[in-house]
Amino acid sequence: MGHVLLAVTESATDSGTIDWFVVVTGLFGGLALFLMGMDRMTRSLRVMAGDRMRTILNKLTSNRFAAAATGAGLTAVIQSSSVTTVLVVGFITAGLMTLEQSVGVIMGANIGTTVTAQIIAFKVSRYALALVGVGFGIRFFSRNETRRAQGGLLLGLGMIFFGMSVMGNAMGPLSDYEPFRDWMAGMSNPITGVVAGAMFTAVVQSSSATTGVVLALAFEGLIGIEAGIALIFGANVGTSVTAQLAAIGKPRDALRAAWVHTFFNVLGVLLWLPFIPLLASWVEGIGGSLARQIANAHTIFNVVNTVIFIGFTKQLAALVIRLVPDRQEPEVVRPRYLDKGLISTPALALDRARLELLRMAERVRVMLRASVPAVISGTNSDLVTIEAMDDEVDSLYGSILEYLGLLSKEELGERDSKELIQLMEATNNLEAIGDIIETNLVQLGLSRIEQDVVVSDETAVLLGELHDEVQAGYELAMMAVTQKNENAARRVGAMKSEINSLAKKTTRHQADRLIADEPNRIQTYAFETDLIAHLVRIFYFTRRTARVAIPTTERAEN
């Protein structure tokens, strides 16, 4: 690797001039390697973390310090404060977290991002390609999911360090270039440094990229401690732009969370601007290389800011609610939980899909509850209303499948892959139930009106019992899928005999009434038989839905 980097340096300094092509391509090529390494490393970390990220979030309490610790831990894994903000929005929307509680998580997220700088500050570039080779070998030869993720982690780290070396060596010749030295000297002016760092971060949409470039400059001695701190501060401001862009077109809670992120970062930088020389002296006293000093300053900055502002979570939440008030929006059925910003974090994206599936299931439940009474004795208007409900189900169905389709293209672990398939199966089954109600039951009800069929009170009672049992099975199936409740799933499977028994009982009653001296007896018999068959079909799809919560090895057709 040393020969490769030396060639870059020599090419850049031939004849005592700056080869700007080599400098620019080296800088941005190294940055590309750095970002690719970051992406590989964080993907592997997410696979290794798996359900533990869910557990951390699900155990989040109203304690603001626990919230901050959660935000720091989660962001240290996913290496994106913007993604953490998206997660927070989803939990607020789901009613699992208040906006005030989210403030603590967002503050903690800034601490989590400092892990990147601390890792990069270990200058181990001579081992970069060794890490790439070992990591690739583990991923290539291993079939174990966790082991492959560990290989991906090493591969990503190697690419990060190699990218840093490429950037550093490309910019090395600039140390003797007077205009560049003067420009970097200007970065020691806090405002200039902050603005430059913010603009660069806003353009590349990654504070980690800015951190990588700043530390590469530090490794080559091209930047001073105060200029490095100012640029890192600017990166904190620039990353707020990412959060703001992510909130465009999203619900009000998303915009509020983005503003919490922005206010916290901007206020923190304004607070520290006059004290950059003091912070520089602190980290110089701690010791270490220049890159390590800048990384330590980054950590101290974010930790101290969180300690200062954690006591003002209520006030900050109240401020953003006043700035971003609720507004009346037309009632449009659209996904509430599906956020494409979470696709790169499969374990959490699957939770979002499960919540959206619950919304779809609730609409199907309303249709199912209203269907039989409307079919037996409802008006034309009642049936048309039920038919229209399926449009909402179809809309959510399409959105969920599209989301799961995008998620399937990600690198999924074995557990996440199985869960994705289960959710797809459950989504398809719910759609099938909605179609039975819309197409078959509604049309059956309309034919009952057209043919003037009248269902006797005794038969209506029997049909009602069958309908109630199917609804009970549906409720258990939804509990099984949305809560991963295996016991509820098995209870649905055990209901098959009771459903069949009620269906046979009602059919025998109809057969006995065939000889009754009533008008339209044949049409009534056909109507009632079809209704029973459709209810049994609905239970069939209900049982199939519940079975996705049972481990594959234990499933059996009942």
pLDDT at residue 2 in the model: 45
SS3 content of the chain, % helix, strand, coil (to 5): 85, 0, 15
Same domain? For 169 and 133 the reply is yes
Same domain? For 491 and 436 the reply is yes
Instruction: With 0.85 as the threshold, say if the pTM is over it.
Output: no
- Express as a percent the part of the chain with pLDDT over 90: 12
Same domain? For 404 and 377 the reply is yes
Domain boundary among 263, 290, 323: 323
The answer to whether residue 358 sits within a structural domain is: yes
The answer to whether residue 220 sits within a structural domain is: yes
pLDDT at residue 156 in the model: 83
pLDDT at residue 91 in the model: 64
The answer to whether residue 502 sits within a structural domain is: yes
pLDDT at residue 428 in the model: 92
The segments of the chain whose pLDDT lies below 70 read: 1-16, 18, 42, 45-63, 77-83, 85-87, 89-97, 123-125, 168, 171-178, 180-182, 184-186, 188, 204-205, 242, 246-251, 254, 326-333, 510-521, 551-558
Cβ neighbours of residue 99 closer than 8 Å, sequence gap 6 or more: 92, 253, 256, 257, 260, 317, 320, 321
For residue 79, give both structure tokens: 């290496």
Same domain? For 540 and 402 the reply is yes
**CATH number where 432 lies:** 1.20.58.220
Same domain? For 151 and 256 the reply is yes
The answer to whether residue 329 sits within a structural domain is: no
Type of residue numbered 92: I
Q: Which alpha helices (DSSP H) does 333-379 contain, by range?
A: 346-377
Same domain? For 506 and 390 the reply is yes
Same domain? For 285 and 347 the reply is no
Assign residue 205 a region: left if phi > 0, alpha if psi is -120 to 50, beta otherwise? left
Same domain? For 314 and 421 the reply is no
pLDDT at residue 79 in the model: 61
pLDDT at residue 253 in the model: 73
| Contact (CB, 8 A) for 196 and 77 | no
Domain boundary among 266, 292, 323: 323
Domain limits for position 34: 2-323
* C-alpha to C-alpha distance for 274 and 58, rounded to whole angstroms: 40
Same domain? For 77 and 191 the reply is yes
pLDDT at residue 538 in the model: 93
Residue of 139, 140, 156, 157 whose CA lies nearest to 148: 139
Mind listing the pLDDT tens digit for each residue in 210-231?
787 888 778 777 788 888 888 8
Mind listing the pLDDT tens digit for each residue in 116-170?
777 777 766 677 888 888 989 988 888 787 788 888 888 887 887 787 778 767 7
Mind listing the pLDDT tens digit for each residue in 7-48?
444 444 443 476 778 778 887 888 788 778 877 776 776 666
Same domain? For 241 and 388 the reply is no
| Contact (CB, 8 A) for 258 and 84 | no
Domain boundary among 268, 293, 323: 323
**Strand (E) or helix (H) holding 171:** helix 145-171
* C-alpha to C-alpha distance for 111 and 122, rounded to whole angstroms: 18
Total domains present in the chain: 2
Same domain? For 319 and 344 the reply is no
The answer to whether residue 548 sits within a structural domain is: yes
The answer to whether residue 290 sits within a structural domain is: yes
The answer to whether residue 328 sits within a structural domain is: no
The answer to whether residue 87 sits within a structural domain is: yes
Same domain? For 218 and 365 the reply is no
